[in-house]
Amino acid sequence: MSQTTPEQEYKLTPFGEWVSKKVRTLVNGHDGRSDGYLDDNAKAVADIARLAHAAGHEVGADPAIIPLTVPQMDDTEIYPHGVGSFSGPTDEERAAHAAITLFAVHQQSQRNQPMHVDAYVSLGRATGAMAYGNFNEKGIRSTFDKMQTASSWAEMIRHARRLIALLKREDQPLNYGLFAQDLMRLRQGRTAANAVRLRWGRDFQSAYMNEKNKSDNSKQSQK
């Protein structure tokens, strides 16, 4: 019996779709309008700058970015169990805030292409593809590992920001809807968190070996 691949199993939840739509709109603008970051639209540029500044801060620390990072409370597909007006940040809100502000860090000053892709590019896959043949492979692996073994949410996001900065330097995009989903699942108990880490690890190894094989084949063809 053949095994299914991550691409075959990959499906965004309504929450992941919401995050993906937000970052796509930020970078590409609304349909029919040249009002995205890649259009050098003044508002989009300001939004990306403000979001990037908020990376690592608590949800709600900058009220101006809440419409960009927090789903509507009455969206029952995202909040199937509801959310109280006076409760603290939900797992969805923490994950969306983290993913979208880190996307802004990734995209800021990158005017040639979006740093979000809709394809299956998990954090593990993006990091593994970046690591092979990189002079800083040891540092990349170390940051990736530290993010996954962090003892607190704040510590994890600090390491995630360092990893995103490395991806940015290599022009390596990421699926931010999937990233947000994974961040949320990291907060939903040990079993769910370990499943995310396992998939990231598998994706890292798969992407790393894919890059190695491409390099080896290229060397063979040149002989």
pLDDT of residue 215: 80
What is the residue-level pLDDT of the chain in tens, covering all 223 positions? 456 666 657 789 999 999 999 999 999 999 878 899 999 999 999 999 999 999 999 999 999 999 999 998 888 899 877 777 767 899 999 999 999 999 999 999 999 999 999 999 999 999 999 999 999 999 999 999 999 999 999 999 999 999 999 999 999 999 999 999 999 999 999 999 999 999 999 999 999 999 998 887 767 776 6
Spans of all domains in the chain: 13-221
pLDDT of residue 83: 79
Q: How far apart are alpha carbons 178 and 102 in whole angstroms?
A: 13
The answer to whether 60 and 89 are in contact (CB under 8 A) is yes
3-state SS, one letter per residue, for 17-43? HHHHHHHHHHHHCCCCCCCCHHHCCHH
Q: Which residue has the tokens 């990233």?
A: 179
pLDDT of residue 7: 67
The answer to whether 97 and 154 are in contact (CB under 8 A) is no
pLDDT of residue 8: 59
Identify the architecture of domain 13-221 in CATH.
Orthogonal Bundle (1.10)
Distance of CA 152 to the CA centre of its chain: 18
